[in-house]
C-alpha cells in the first residue's frame, strides 16, 4: 500500500508531461496534414527527379503489355522490369 503513495504522484507527473507535449505538438502543427506524407510516398516520381525521362516515356508507353516491355528492354540492353 505504501508503494501506491509513490506511484500515484509519479504517474500524475508523467501524465502532465504527456499533456504538455501533446499541446505543444498541436500548437506547432504536427497534426495539420495527416494524409500528405502518407500518400506522398506512393507517388512514383523518383525517375523524374533523377532526370531519367527517357525511361519514364518508355515505361508509360509499354505499361500494359509485357511483351512490349521485354522487346523494349532488349533494345536498350537492360533486363525487363521484374526479372531477376
Tell me the per-residue pLDDT of 28-42, one tens digit each, with 9 for 90 and over: 988 887 777 777 777
The secondary element (H helix, E strand) that includes residue 33 is none
Mean pLDDT of the chain: 75
Q: How big is the chain, counted in residues?
A: 84
Q: What is the pTM of this model?
A: 0.42
Among 7-11, 44-48, 50-54, the range scoring the smallest mean pLDDT is 50-54
Question: What cell was used for 69?
Answer: 516491355
As a whole number of angstroms, the distance between CA 56 and CA 11 comes to: 56
Amino acid at each position: 500500500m505504501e508503494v501506491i503513495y509513490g506511484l500515484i504522484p509519479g504517474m500524475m507527473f508523467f501524465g502532465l508531461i504527456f499533456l504538455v507535449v501533446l499541446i505543444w505538438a498541436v500548437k506547432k502543427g504536427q497534426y495539420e496534414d495527416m494524409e500528405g506524407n502518407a500518400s506522398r510516398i506512393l507517388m512514383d516520381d523518383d525517375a523524374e527527379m533523377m532526370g531519367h525521362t527517357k525511361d519514364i516515356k518508355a515505361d508509360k508507353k509499354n505499361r500494359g503489355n509485357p511483351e512490349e516491355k521485354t522487346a523494349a528492354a532488349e533494345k536498350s540492353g537492360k533486363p525487363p522490369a521484374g526479372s531477376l
